[in-house]
Chains A and B, each alone.
Chain A
Amino acid sequence: MLSLVIALFSGAVGGLVVAMIPETKNRLRNYIVLLFAASSAFFTWHTALKVFAGERVRVAGELGGLAFSIDPDPLGAVFGLIASTLWLFTAVYSFGYMAGKHKQRTFFTFFLMSLTMTLGVAFSGNLVALYLFYELLTFATYPLVIHERSAEAMKAGTKYILYSLSGAGAILIAIIFTYAWSGKLDFSSGPMLANSLGPGLNWLLMLFIGGFGVKAAIMPLHRWLPAAMAAPTPVSALLHAVAVVYSGVYGILRTVYSVFGHELIGQLEIRYILPWTAAITIVAGIVIAARQDVLKRRLAYQTVSHLSYILLGAFTLNAWGLAGAIFHMISYSTLKITLFFCAGIISEQTGVIKVSKIGGIGRLLPKTMAAFSIATMGMIGMLPLNTFWGKYYLMKGSVEAGKWPLAVVLIISGILNAICFVPAIVNAFNRVSTKTCEEKGSRVSLMLAPTLALVMIALFIGLMPGIIWPGVEAVVNWFY
C-alpha cells in the first residue's frame, strides 16, 4: 500500500523538487529526475507483482458512491508497468536530447508530473478517479506540447487541449449517466451496467468511446496527434506514442470490460460497428502515414493505426482478443518508442527530418538505423520481435470470434507498414549521404543507450514471450 502511494506520487513530488532547482544546474536536475523516475518504476513493479499475485492493494475511498479510489487491478498494473518503465528509459534519453536546450526546468517538471497523472489513470479504482487523472493528464502535458513556443507548437497545443477537453466532457456526461443508471462506479465489483439493458446503452457506449477515442486517436478524432508532433522528441515518443494515447486506449478497455462488460456489449447492436471502426482506422492510418514526408508525422499516423490494433482486440470481445490487445500494448510501446528515439537521434545528429532526405543516414548512424530497421520489422509483424505475438493473438481472437476479415485487415496492415518504411530503410543504407557526423560523445550515447536497450528487450520478449505471459494471463483471467 505504501509502495503504491510512493509509485503514484513520486512523479508529482519529483516535479515540485525539480521546479525548485535553478535552470543552470543541469546535472543535479538530471540526477533528481532519474531518482524519482526510478523510484516510481521500482515501486510500480513492486505493486504490480503483488497485484498479479492476486493481492488487493487499495489506497483510498469507500466502496461505492462518489468517493475517490485508487485500486489497481491487473489491467491497471500492466498499464502502470508499461508507463513507469518506459518513463525511465525516456528520462535517460531526454538527458541527452535536452542537453544544451532552453527551458529544461519546465520540461522536466511537467515531464515528471505527467508520470503521476498517467499512473493515476492506470491505478484508478473507479470512474471518478479515472476521470480526474484523465483531465489532469491533459493539463500536465499541455506545457510539454507547446514547449518550443513556436507558432506551430502553440497551434498544436490549442488543438490538443480542445480535442482532449471535448473528449473529457463527453466522458463526464457518460459517467453521470452510468451512475444514474447503475448506482455504481467501482471497477472492482464486476461490470457496472451488467444488469441493465435498455435502448440508451448503445448511445452511452458511443459516448464513452467517443470520449476516450479522442486520446486513443480513433479516426476521425485523431487530428490532434500528428499536430502534437511539434513537441520535443522525447515527448512525442513517450506521451504521444505511449502514455497519453494509452490512457485513451485504457479508458476504452475499461469501458468495454469494467463498465459494460463483454457479455453486455455482446448483446448490443453496436458490436457490429465497433471492430470495423478500429479496422478502418488501422488501414486508413497507415495509408495516410505512407503519404507523409516528415518522419515524425509518418510515425504519428502509424501510431494512430497501431492503437486501433489494441482496440480491435478489445472489440472482438473474446479472451484471445483481449490477450492480443494486452500483448500488443506491451510490445508495441517498446518498439514505437524506439522508432521515435531513432527519429530524434537522426534529426539531432544530421538535421534530417524528412523521409525523402534519409538516403545515406544508415552509413552515418549505423546503430541507430539498425535499431530503426529492427523496430520496423516488428511493426510489420515479423517473428523475432515481440509485436508478432500481439498480432498473432489479435488474429486468433478475430478468427475465434468468427470475424476472420479482421485478421485479413491485420495482414494488410502489416504489408502497408512494410511499404511505408522499408524503402526508406533501404535508401538509408544504400545511398551515400553528403553529410558528416558520428555516433560519438556522451550526449549521443545517452540517447543511443536506451534505444538499443529497448530493441534488445523487444527481441528478448519476442524470443521468449513467456516472460510477459503471466501479466497477460492475469488480465485475461480477471475479466474472463
Chain B
Amino acid sequence: MILAILPVIPLIGVLFLLFKRGRFINIPLITSAVVLVFGVCGLQSVFEGIPLNYTVPLPGPVAPNFHADSLSAIFVLAAGFIWSVVSIYVPEYMEQEGRTKVFELCSLLTLSAVLGVFLAGDLFTLLLFFELMTVSSFFWVIHRGNKEAIRAGYFYLFYSIVGGLFLALGIVFMGTATDIMPIIGSGPVNPLNSKAFTWSIVLLIIGFGIKAGMVPLHLWLPHAHSVAPAPGSALLSGLLIKVGAYGLIRVGEFAGWGTYLQGGVSWLGSGLAVLGTCTMLVGVLAALVQSDAKRLLAYHSISQIGYIILGLGIGLYLGPDGGLGLIGSIYHIVNHTLFKAALFLGVGIIYIGTNETNLYKLGGLWRRFPLTALFMLIAVLGITGAPGLNGYASKTLLHHAVSHAAENGPQWIIWSERLFLLVGVGTATSFIKLYYLIFLGKPAKVKVNENKSFGMNLAMGLLAAVMIVIGFKPEIFASIAAAPAAQVLGMKNAAATLESLSFWNPSDVLSMIITLAIGGLTCWLGFRSGAFHWHIPAWLTLEGIGKLTGMSILFIWRRGAEWYGSIVATAGRASGNLRARLFKYFRRFDKSRSGNIGKINLTGISADAALLITVLMFLIVWYAFIVK
C-alpha cells in the first residue's frame, strides 16, 4: 500500500501548490521531505530483506503493480533526499529566472514519475511513469523559452519519445519470449523463445540507454542539461539519468545477475562493458574542450554514467564473482547524484551572481563566494575521486572489479582498465580547470550582483556534508545498502567479497593521488599549450556525422519527391488524354444512327448494350476458362 502512496504524495503536493496563496511556504520542500520520511519508515522491512509488493486491484489484462526491494529503496531515498535539497535551493534561484510556479509544478510531477519508475513492479507500470517523467521534465529544459532552449527541448523530447517507443517494443518482445510477462524483482527470466528474448534485451537497453545518456545515444544530453535552470540541471543530471541506469540494472536482472549468462544474452556483460568504456571516454574527451561550465558538467555526466555502465557490464561478465562491479555501480550512482547535483547548484549560484557561465570570463571568485567555493571544492574533489571523499569509494570498488576482470580476461578488458585510469586523469584535469578558472586565477571583470544566497548555500552544504560522511566511512553505505541490494538481485557472495576488501588500501590511495597529480600536470600543460581551446572538427563529432547524414537523406528525399512529382504529373496528363478519348469513343455509341433491327429502334441504348455484352463476355470467359 505504501508503495502506491509514495508516488501519489507529490501529486497531492501539486494540488496544494495550485491553490497556494502565501508566498513563503515551500511546498516542494515539504512534499519531498514527506516522501523521504514515508520512504524511510515505509520501506523499513525492505532493508531487512523482505521485498514489498502491491497490486492495484483493477480488472483486465494489466493492472498497475508496485514492487520494492533494496535497490528500489536506495533509489527512492536518494530521490527524496536530492529533491528536498534542491527544493531548498529553488526559491532564491528561480527569483532570477522567473516562472517559479511552473518549475515547481513540473518538479513535483517529475518526482512522482521518478518514484513511480523506481517502485514499479512490472514493465508496463515502469513505462507509464517513464513517459510521464519525459513529459514533465521536458518543461525544465524549455523553461527559458529562448531559441537554444527550444532546440535542446526538441532534442530531449524526441530522443525520449524514441526511447519510450523502443521500451514498448522491448516489452512486446519480452511478452513473446515468455508466456507470462516477467515481474520486476523476480530474478532471471527463463525464455521460451531465446531469439525474441535477445531482441527484447537489446531494445530495452536502447530505451534505457537513451535516458542514461549512453554513447552513441547521448547527443541530447549536453544540450538539455546545459540549458535548463540550475536546479533543473541538477535534478536532470543527478537523478533523471540514473533512471536509465536503474533500468539497465533491471535489464541485467532479467538476464540474470550472479550467473554466467548463457544462450542469446551471453554477450550482454562484455557488450555493456565496451559501451560503458566508450561512454566514459567520449564524455571526458568532449568535456576537456568545453568552455561553458554547464556543458562541461553535462559531458561529465556522460562520462560518469560510463563508469556506471562499465561496472554493470563487468558485474554481468564475471557472473558470480561480479559482485564488486554491481556494488560499485550502485555506489557510484548514489555518489554521482550527490556531487553532480552539488556542482550544478554551485555553478547556478555563480550564474545568479554574475550572469555568466563561460569559464574564460570568470575568475578569482572565491573572495566573493567563499562558502560556495568551499562546497564546490568538496564536490570537485568528490568527483575526481580524491581519498577522503565519496567518489573515492565507488571508483575504488569499480577499479577493483575491472582489474579483477582484467587479470584473467581477454585483451579488451585490459584496455578497458587502462582507459579507466586515463578517464580518471581526464576527469581530474577538467575539474581542476573548472575550479581554477572560476574561483582562482585572475579576478574577472564581470559585474557581481549582491543577493542573498543563504538557502542556496545551505542546499550545497547539506550535499557536501553527506559527501564527507560517506567519504570518511565508505564501508557503511556499501555494507548496509549497496551489498544487500546486490544480494537481492542475485549476487550471492557480494557481502563476502565486500568484507574481504579494505577501502584504505595504500596502493589504491596512492594511485588516486597519482591520478590527481597527473591531472594537475595535464591541466597546467593544457593551459600553457592552449589545447583546451581546440575545437573538434565537425566530421569527428557524432553530431556532425548525424547532421551530414540528415542532410544527405534530405537531399535524396527532395530528389525523390521531384521525380515522384514529375511521374504523377505525367500520369495525370496521360490519364486525362485517355479519359478524353474514351469519352469521345463512348459518345459515338450514343450518336449512332443506324440502330434498327426490323422495327425495333436501338438508337441511344447501344452504349448500354455494348457495356452489357462486355460484362457478359467477361463473365463467360471467367467461368469457362479461369474458374475450374
Contacts and interface: CB of A to CB of B under 8 A. Distances in A.
Interface in B161-188: 161-162, 164-166, 168-169, 171-173, 175-176
Contact of B165 (A400, A414, A422, A467): A414
Contact of A430 (B132, B150, B161, B627): B150
A198 interface: yes
A415 B130 CA distance: 17
A430 B165 contact: no
Given A399-B172, A399-B176, A467 B164 contact: no
B627 A381 contact: no
A199 interface: yes
Interface string B184-205: 0000000000001001000000
B172 A384 contact: no
B127 interface: yes
A426 B153 contact: yes
Contact of B168 (A377, A388, A422, A423): A388
Contacts of B162: 415
Contacts of A396: 172, 175-176
B135 A377 contact: yes
Contact of A383 (B58, B59, B61, B131): B131
Contacts of B124: 383
A198 B628 contact: yes
A105 to B, nearest CB: 38
Interface in B145-163: 145, 150, 153-154, 157-158, 161-162
Contacts of A399: 172-173, 176, 196
Nearest to B132: A384
Interface string A409-420: 001001100110
Given A198-B628, A382-B164, A430-B142, A422 B157 contact: yes
A466 interface: yes
B153 A411 contact: no
A391 interface: yes
The dominant DSSP class at the B interface is: helix
Nearest to A423: B154
A383 B154 contact: no
The dominant DSSP class at the A interface is: helix
A24 B41 CA distance: 68
Given A418-B161, A465-B61, A199 B172 contact: no
Given A400-B176, A430-B145, A392 B168 contact: yes
Contacts of B171: 392
B62 interface: yes
Interface string B288-317: 000000000000000000000000000000
Given A200-B626, A411-B165, A415-B162, A467 B172 contact: no
Nearest to B124: A383
B553 interface: no
Contact of A380 (B161, B175, B622): B161
A425 to B, nearest CB: 10
Interface in A287-324: none
A469 interface: yes
A288 B586 CA distance: 37
Interface in A378-409: 380-384, 388, 391-392, 395-396, 399-400, 404, 407-408
Contacts of B161: 380, 382, 414-415, 418
A198 B169 CA distance: 38
Nearest to A173: B615
Contact of B63 (A199, A384, A395, A466): A466
Interface in A349-397: 377, 380-384, 388, 391-392, 395-396
Looking at B132, B161, B164, the one whose CB has the most chain A CB atoms below 10 A away is B161
B172 to A, nearest CB: 4
B61 A411 contact: no
B598 interface: no
A327 to B, nearest CB: 10
A289 B570 CA distance: 23
A415 B162 CA distance: 7
A430 B139 CA distance: 11
A21 interface: no
B440 interface: no
A412 to B, nearest CB: 9
Looking at B59, B165, B622, the one whose CB has the most chain A CB atoms below 10 A away is B165
Given A377-B135, A399-B196, A426-B154, A465 B60 contact: yes
A200 B621 CA distance: 13
Looking at A199, A399, A411, A423, the one whose CB has the most chain B CB atoms below 10 A away is A399
A415 B128 contact: no
Contacts of B164: 382-383
Nearest to B561: A291
Contact of B128 (A380, A383, A419): A383
Contacts of A380: 161, 165
A464 interface: yes
Contacts of A383: 124, 127-128, 130-132, 164
Given A383-B127, A396-B176, A466-B61, A391 B627 contact: no
Looking at B124, B150, B166, B172, the one whose CB has the most chain A CB atoms below 10 A away is B172
Interface of A: 198-200, 377, 380-384, 388, 391-392, 395-396, 399-400, 404, 407-408, 411, 414-415, 418-419, 422-423, 426, 430, 463-467, 469
22 contacts: A199-B627, A382-B161, A383-B127, A383-B128, A384-B132, A392-B172, A395-B169, A396-B175, A399-B172, A408-B169, A415-B158, A415-B161, A418-B157, A422-B158, A426-B150, A426-B154, A463-B128, A464-B60, A465-B62, A466-B58, A466-B60, A469-B59
Given A382-B161, A466-B59, 9 more contacts: A200-B627, A384-B132, A399-B173, A408-B169, A411-B169, A422-B154, A430-B142, A463-B128, A466-B58
Top 10 nearest A-B pairs (CB, nearest first) are A466-B60, A466-B59, A469-B60, A395-B172, A383-B131, A383-B128, A382-B131, A411-B165, A399-B176, A414-B165
